[in-house]
Amino acid sequence: MIKRVFISYRRDDTGPVARLIYDRLVRVVSKPNVFFDVSAIRGGEDFKQKIATEITKCDAALVLIGNKWLKETPENQSRIWELDDYVRAEIREALARPILVLPVLVSGAGMPKAEQLPEDVRVIVTKNAMQLRHESFEDDAEMLLTVLLGERTRERPWEKQTSIVLTTLHAFGGAVTAALIVITVALLHFWIFDRALSGSIGTPMTLLMITLSVIAGIWAGLNRAR
């Protein structure tokens, strides 16, 4: 079973998607077991050394590939060909280890051709890739986790579910708010007319108004909790 995951991506290519995948993974395997450079590298640390160290601890590496992954530099050469390109270094380190290296094609991007890549990372094109599409993101993300974890989860653990306690608190808060509104109205009525509200509309109507107000408050609270 996969326990630690390394996420490789280019910030200007698939940065937002990488963050979404990270957020889902940490809910499944916990934050310390997912390497995501933005949150995992502290100021002053050696970037390349940190990458090499983290990959040696990982069981899988996700390589997110978007439409700008092979974006050319001003010298008309893709960044992947630069010797100090961090994505190239990440893939090279991952391919050198006996771990799962999984290309993830984002938003319709295609797998690069072998001749578009340096020899030290060219093997990546032989890996079976997965799709992560905007129109089916949740399903694709679930399938991605299924591949990583080795089994399909019956529920999506990254989706925030409102707890019974929180729902109860919202309902109680709505009821209290409604009750305070009724009390305020009753006090204003007494201050203006110098008599209780029940003296104007009758006890049965007063009780009905209180009951309906509390029910409306609970309903509003439950809607807010959804």
- Indicate the burial class of 192 (C-beta count within 10 angstroms; 0-12, 13-18, 19 or more): exposed
Q: What is the pLDDT of residues 87-140, one digit of tens each?
A: 999 999 999 999 999 999 999 999 999 999 999 999 999 999 999 998 999 899
**What domains appear along the chain, each with residue ranges and CATH number?**
5-149 (3.40.50.10140), 164-225 (no CATH)
Tens-digit pLDDT string for the chain (226 aa): 668 999 999 999 999 999 999 998 888 888 889 988 755 566 667 777 778 888 988 999 999 999 999 988 777 788 999 988 889 999 999 999 999 999 999 999 999 999 999 999 999 999 999 999 989 998 999 899 888 877 554 455 544 454 566 777 777 888 888 888 888 888 888 888 888 878 888 888 888 888 888 888 788 877 765 5
Distance CA 115, CA 197 (A): 85
What pLDDT is recorded for position 162? Answer: 46
Distance CA 71, CA 45 (A): 27
